[in-house]
Amino acid sequence: MATVAAGYLPILLFLAVALGLSLAFVVLPMIVAKLTGASRPYADKLAEYECGFPAFEDSRAQFDVRFYLLAILFIVFDLEAAFLFPWAVSVFDLGWTAWFAMMIFIIELALGLAYAWKKGALEWE
Protein backbone atom coordinates (compact mmCIF):
# COMPACT_ATOMS: atom_id res chain seq x y z
CA MET A 1 0.00 0.00 0.00
CA ALA A 2 2.85 2.39 0.77
CA THR A 3 4.49 1.77 -2.61
CA VAL A 4 1.31 2.72 -4.48
CA ALA A 5 1.06 5.99 -2.55
CA ALA A 6 4.76 6.67 -3.16
CA GLY A 7 4.13 6.32 -6.91
CA TYR A 8 1.66 9.21 -6.77
CA LEU A 9 4.02 11.50 -4.82
CA PRO A 10 5.70 13.06 -7.90
CA ILE A 11 2.29 13.81 -9.41
CA LEU A 12 1.08 15.41 -6.20
CA LEU A 13 4.27 17.47 -5.95
CA PHE A 14 3.84 18.59 -9.56
CA LEU A 15 0.24 19.61 -8.89
CA ALA A 16 1.28 21.50 -5.75
CA VAL A 17 4.00 23.40 -7.63
CA ALA A 18 1.59 24.17 -10.51
CA LEU A 19 -1.06 25.43 -8.11
CA GLY A 20 1.49 27.51 -6.24
CA LEU A 21 2.81 29.09 -9.42
CA SER A 22 -0.73 29.74 -10.65
CA LEU A 23 -1.56 31.53 -7.45
CA ALA A 24 1.71 33.46 -7.55
CA PHE A 25 1.30 34.65 -11.14
CA VAL A 26 -2.47 35.16 -11.28
CA VAL A 27 -3.94 35.88 -7.88
CA LEU A 28 -1.00 37.72 -6.32
CA PRO A 29 -0.87 40.51 -8.98
CA MET A 30 -4.62 41.01 -8.63
CA ILE A 31 -4.28 41.37 -4.85
CA VAL A 32 -1.36 43.77 -5.21
CA ALA A 33 -3.32 45.84 -7.75
CA LYS A 34 -6.25 46.12 -5.35
CA LEU A 35 -4.01 47.12 -2.45
CA THR A 36 -1.97 49.69 -4.39
CA GLY A 37 -4.94 51.24 -6.20
CA ALA A 38 -3.71 50.29 -9.66
CA SER A 39 -7.05 48.70 -10.50
CA ARG A 40 -9.03 51.95 -10.25
CA PRO A 41 -10.79 52.35 -13.62
CA TYR A 42 -11.03 55.72 -15.33
CA ALA A 43 -12.04 56.84 -18.81
CA ASP A 44 -8.67 56.25 -20.48
CA LYS A 45 -8.38 52.74 -19.06
CA LEU A 46 -11.87 51.86 -20.23
CA ALA A 47 -11.36 53.21 -23.76
CA GLU A 48 -11.39 50.77 -26.64
CA TYR A 49 -7.87 49.95 -27.76
CA GLU A 50 -8.08 46.90 -30.04
CA CYS A 51 -11.00 47.20 -32.40
CA GLY A 52 -11.35 50.97 -32.64
CA PHE A 53 -15.05 51.29 -31.89
CA PRO A 54 -17.03 51.28 -28.64
CA ALA A 55 -17.77 47.75 -27.45
CA PHE A 56 -21.19 48.40 -25.95
CA GLU A 57 -23.32 49.97 -28.62
CA ASP A 58 -26.22 48.80 -30.72
CA SER A 59 -25.82 45.11 -31.47
CA ARG A 60 -27.12 45.63 -34.99
CA ALA A 61 -24.31 48.02 -35.95
CA GLN A 62 -22.49 47.08 -39.13
CA PHE A 63 -18.79 46.27 -39.02
CA ASP A 64 -16.36 47.47 -41.60
CA VAL A 65 -15.34 44.67 -43.95
CA ARG A 66 -11.66 45.53 -43.38
CA PHE A 67 -11.85 43.96 -39.92
CA TYR A 68 -12.81 40.65 -41.51
CA LEU A 69 -10.21 40.90 -44.27
CA LEU A 70 -7.45 41.59 -41.78
CA ALA A 71 -8.61 38.70 -39.58
CA ILE A 72 -8.63 36.32 -42.55
CA LEU A 73 -5.13 37.42 -43.58
CA PHE A 74 -3.91 36.91 -40.02
CA ILE A 75 -5.35 33.39 -39.92
CA VAL A 76 -3.80 32.50 -43.29
CA PHE A 77 -0.32 33.58 -42.26
CA ASP A 78 -0.72 32.08 -38.82
CA LEU A 79 -1.49 28.76 -40.47
CA GLU A 80 1.52 29.21 -42.70
CA ALA A 81 3.73 29.47 -39.63
CA ALA A 82 2.02 26.41 -38.13
CA PHE A 83 2.90 24.39 -41.24
CA LEU A 84 6.36 25.88 -41.72
CA PHE A 85 7.92 25.07 -38.33
CA PRO A 86 7.36 21.29 -38.33
CA TRP A 87 8.47 21.16 -41.96
CA ALA A 88 11.68 23.06 -41.16
CA VAL A 89 12.54 20.58 -38.41
CA SER A 90 12.16 17.53 -40.63
CA VAL A 91 13.03 18.86 -44.11
CA PHE A 92 16.35 16.99 -44.34
CA ASP A 93 14.64 13.70 -43.54
CA LEU A 94 11.79 14.23 -46.01
CA GLY A 95 13.82 14.90 -49.14
CA TRP A 96 13.46 17.14 -52.17
CA THR A 97 9.79 16.39 -52.73
CA ALA A 98 8.85 17.98 -49.41
CA TRP A 99 11.09 20.96 -50.17
CA PHE A 100 9.43 21.60 -53.54
CA ALA A 101 5.96 21.14 -52.04
CA MET A 102 6.68 23.75 -49.37
CA MET A 103 8.13 26.15 -51.93
CA ILE A 104 4.90 25.86 -53.95
CA PHE A 105 2.92 26.52 -50.76
CA ILE A 106 5.01 29.60 -49.91
CA ILE A 107 4.76 30.92 -53.49
CA GLU A 108 0.97 30.56 -53.37
CA LEU A 109 0.85 32.50 -50.10
CA ALA A 110 3.18 35.17 -51.49
CA LEU A 111 0.93 35.56 -54.53
CA GLY A 112 -2.08 35.86 -52.23
CA LEU A 113 -0.33 38.52 -50.16
CA ALA A 114 0.67 40.44 -53.30
CA TYR A 115 -2.94 40.29 -54.52
CA ALA A 116 -4.29 41.53 -51.18
CA TRP A 117 -1.69 44.27 -51.10
CA LYS A 118 -2.50 45.36 -54.67
CA LYS A 119 -6.25 45.41 -53.92
CA GLY A 120 -5.62 47.62 -50.87
CA ALA A 121 -6.78 45.12 -48.26
CA LEU A 122 -3.83 46.05 -46.05
CA GLU A 123 -4.49 49.81 -46.21
CA TRP A 124 -6.15 51.34 -43.19
CA GLU A 125 -7.59 54.82 -43.59
- Structural domain boundaries of the chain? 62-125
H runs (alpha helix) in the chain: 2-22, 28-36, 43-46, 65-94, 96-119
pLDDT in tens, 88-113: 888 888 889 989 998 998 898 889 88
Asked if 16 and 8 count as a contact pair (C-beta separation under 8 A), the reply is: no
CATH of 62-125, one of 3.30.70.2740, 1.20.58.1610, 1.10.10.10, 3.30.1360.120: 1.20.58.1610
Judged by average pLDDT, the poorest of 42-46, 70-74, 77-81, 83-87 is: 42-46
* pLDDT at residue 52, rounded to an integer: 61
Residue that wins the pLDDT comparison between 42 and 88: 88
Q: What's the CA angle centered on 21, arms 19 and 23, to 5 degrees?
A: 70
pLDDT in tens, 23-32: 999 988 888 8
Asked if 73 and 116 count as a contact pair (C-beta separation under 8 A), the reply is: yes
Determine how many CB atoms are found less than 10 A away from the CB of residue 109.
Answer: 16
pLDDT in tens, 45-72: 777 666 666 666 666 767 777 778 778 8
